[in-house]
Structure 1
């Protein structure tokens, strides 16, 4: 090759697509959950995983974060463990006027504080807590361990007190195994008796 000649190298490039816009930027505590109500209200949660979390549930109101449903509901003391938010990991607006709040009661990935783990229903019309379901002893436990349960995806408790769940082997997709498809049909809908009724939605 003569001096001055060169080889043109074509480098791989990414193609960007999708149009989006920033709704809110967080410069303090790290958020994990977002939900939008049927009227367009936006709620965020901030679990206590190391950041300085001033409130663990918030609503975006006119461009600012406001503790929801109140600051008092987000302030924890030994006397209100079962009634206040401790470390909320998920919020879901059900489209019917209720915000469901999942409080792990376990700041900094600790064991749940006794009485602190709970599912809370907040009435979006009155902005008040309507009900709480405390997780017994604040402890989650494994109820099944079986090699046939390959990626349980969706769960539902029926009126017969069975837990129904889909097993779809999602982790066996070719994209996770260098192009090799490891799926083995059939997929399954399984159930097991748990002697618990469906969770109330009112």
Structure 2
């Protein structure tokens, strides 16, 4: 058997021959560290600035959410930025509605990806908000028009290349449960955005996908309704260390895909032609929520089926970076300048929508980190 599943790899005995390669989790960098816990709403995203500031977000999925983005200081989360963090339904374009992802870009600026969606409803005020961390002030708000943020759109995660165009570009996944999935490309200078790989098979959930988490099949299970297979499309996203490829994966799939960024950025390239450039990197044997990359050209993937984080090496092999029973649904990751990989674990599969109306989550939720031998991808174009 040429390739063992990650869950089997973890069963290798500590008494293995000395000349047998060690797993990443057997190395010092595999030690899991608890950074912070959360007793309020469940967090999804995390990002770390170049100077070590940690930010998280809480989407409005049903939990009471006082503020949708926060900075974590000394283990405590406080509203950030405070001036726009109080949701005002009469001004959805001017206040934060429901932030799904927070990401620090290569220039050390914080971006907030606001779905504009309450409990996965139609978006109202979907936008991308840039915050200057030198002043903690909003410097840019990019609203998404209705032909980009469709009535079914759910803006999920984002990555940046600041070398493209006048001010850089952003790539965003649309993980809509119903309606077309795809990648949204944003010009950070003009604020113009457009959909790419719209409804392409690589961005869609696998048919009848059935993940196994904590030994049990996960389906959408609501009282009085027949169970439904998970249908979330393009979710995790990461950009290669050289900016040449964008990696992405549907949440309801075990396949990893990548596409040349030039195919997404080409103004004259039809979407069908861009789709022909997509590569299927194969069935990984596990399903992922978040993706991340490092400056050594490796791709990190959460493994929500096995409470783990794995890493795809430059030659296509997978190795375990962290594995722990406390890692219940590892969600979003961030490679930080301090040489750690940060990630949230939020028990997403224990929500009532998957448990016949019963909320089985047990607080607190967690933010972990693990030491790695690499740094973040910084596509700034700076010499």
TM-score of the two chains, using structure 2 as the length reference = 0.38
Q: How does 1:23-62 map onto structure 2 within 5 Å?
A: 23-62=35-74
Q: Which structure carries more strand by proportion?
A: 2
Over 3 Å counting, the alpha-carbon distance change for 1:155 and 1:78 in structure 2 is farther
- Cα RMSD of the aligned pairs, angstroms, is 2.9
Q: How does 1:7-22 map onto structure 2 within 5 Å?
A: 14=11, 17=26, 18-22=30-34
Structure 1 stretch 72-81 or stretch 40-49: which is displaced more? 72-81
Provide the C-alpha distance between the structure 1 equivalents of 2:86 and 2:202, rounded to a whole number of angstroms: 43
Q: How does 1:124-163 map onto structure 2 within 5 Å?
A: 124-137=133-146, 138-139=149-150, 140=153, 144-145=198-199, 152-154=257-259, 156=261, 157-158=264-265, 160=267, 162=269
2:112 pairs with 1:101: yes
User: How far did residue 127 of structure 1 move?
Assistant: 0.5
Provide the C-alpha distance between the structure 1 equivalents of 2:279 and 2:111, rounded to a whole number of angstroms: 27
Over 3 Å counting, the alpha-carbon distance change for 1:112 and 1:25 in structure 2 is same
Contact 2:127–2:144, Cα closer than 8 Å, also in 1: yes
Provide the C-alpha distance between the structure 2 equivalents of 1:155 and 1:46, rounded to a whole number of angstroms: 31
Aligned position for 1:169: 280
Provide the C-alpha distance between the structure 1 equivalents of 2:127 and 2:202, rounded to a whole number of angstroms: 30
Over 3 Å counting, the alpha-carbon distance change for 1:78 and 1:158 in structure 2 is same
Structure 1 stretch 54-63 or stretch 160-169: which is displaced more? 160-169
Structure 1: stretches of 5+ with no match in the other structure:
1-12, 177-200
Provide the C-alpha distance between the structure 1 equivalents of 2:106 and 2:200, rounded to a whole number of angstroms: 36
Provide the C-alpha distance between the structure 2 equivalents of 1:56 and 1:148, rounded to a whole number of angstroms: 30
Aligned partner of residue 75 in structure 1, secondary structure:
coil
Structure 2: stretches of 5+ with no match in the other structure:
1-9, 13-24, 154-179, 182-196, 204-254, 287-379
Provide the C-alpha distance between the structure 1 equivalents of 2:284 and 2:108, rounded to a whole number of angstroms: 41
Structure 1 stretch 146-155 or stretch 27-36: which is displaced more? 146-155
Provide the C-alpha distance between the structure 2 equivalents of 1:40 and 1:83, rounded to a whole number of angstroms: 28
Contact 1:102–1:118, Cα closer than 8 Å, also in 2: yes
- Greater Rg, structure 1 or structure 2? 1
TM-score of the two chains, using structure 1 as the length reference = 0.68
Provide the C-alpha distance between the structure 1 equivalents of 2:54 and 2:97, rounded to a whole number of angstroms: 20
Over 3 Å counting, the alpha-carbon distance change for 1:159 and 1:23 in structure 2 is same
